[in-house]
Structure 1
C-alpha cells in the first residue's frame, strides 16, 4: 500500500510588493498553523518516508515547519520544481514518478491543484482545500506509477481550524 499526504502550504503574506509569487513568505497565521498541523500529524503517529515540496518559499517553509514536528530531517526535504506550477494532471504524473521505496509521502503544494488532485484521485469530493490542510489517501498498490482513483481510499482530511481550541 502507498500512503499520500497532500498538504496545502500555510497562509502566506501579501505584504511585500517587490516579491514574486514564488518568493512570498508565510504570514503570522501560517507560521502558527504549519507547526500545529505538524503536531496533529505527529499525534496520528505519522512518519512519512519522504517529504517533497514545491520550491515556493511559502511551501518550503511549511514543509520545514511540519518536518520539525515530525522529527523529519529538514535537509532531507526533496524540492520538486514542477510542483509549483503544476495542474492536477501534471501533479499526478509527479506522484506517479515517486520512488517505490517510499511507502508514504507528504507532498506540500498549492491550490487549486491540490483540491483538483484529491478530486481526481479519490471518490471523496472537496470544494476547496484551505491553507495548511492535509488530505491522506491510501492506494492499494505497491507502485506509485499505479496510483489511481480506482485503487484509492480516502483516509482523512484535517485542517487548522480543527485545532484552534486545543
Structure 2
C-alpha cells in the first residue's frame, strides 16, 4: 500500500502584478493557513516519507512551513521543477519513477494539476483542491510504478475553511 498526499500551496499574493507567476509570495491568509494546516496534519498523524515540492516561491514556502509543523526536516524536501506548470499526467509519471522505499509521498504544488490528479487516481471526485488543501489517496499497490487511474481511495480531504 502506498499513500499519496496532494497538497496545494497556500493562498498567494497578487499584490504586485509585475511579479512573474513563479515568484509570487504567500499573502496574509496563506502565511496563517500553512502553519495552521501543518499542525492539523500532525494531529492526524500525517508524516510523509518524502516531500516533493514545486520550487515556485509560494509552494516552496508552503512546503517548508507545513514540513516544520509536521516534524519533517526542511532539508529533506526535494524541490523539482517538474511540479511547476505541468500536467496531471506528468505528475503521475513523476510518481511512477519514485523509489519504492518511500511508502508515502507528499506532492506540494499547484492547481489545476493537483485537482486533476486527485480525480484521476481516486474514487472520489472533487471540484477543486482549495489553497492549503490536502487530498490523501491510498493506493493499493506495492510499487509507485504500478499506480493506475481510479484505483486509489481518497481517505482525507482537508482544507482551512473546514475549521472556520
TM-score range, shorter chain: over 0.9
**Paired residue secondary structure (2:108):** strand
Give 1:141's aligned residue: 141
Q: When the two structures are superposed, what TM-score results if normalisation uses the length of structure 2?
A: 0.96
* RMSD between superposed Cα atoms in Å: 1.0
Give 1:90's aligned residue: 90
Q: How does 1:24-39 map to 2 (within 5 A)?
A: 24-39=24-39
Give 1:78's aligned residue: 78
Residues paired across the two proteins, number = 164
Paired with 2:111 and 2:150, the residues of 1 have a C-alpha distance of 23
Flag structure 1 segments of 5+ consecutive residues without an equivalent: none
Moved more, 145-154 or 118-127: 145-154
Give the Å deviation of 1:149.
2.8
**Paired residue secondary structure (1:149):** coil
Give 1:155's aligned residue: 155
Flag structure 2 segments of 5+ consecutive residues without an equivalent: none
Q: How does 1:1-166 map to 2 (within 5 A)?
A: 1-164=1-164
Paired with 2:72 and 2:79, the residues of 1 have a C-alpha distance of 15
Give the Å deviation of 1:150.
4.6
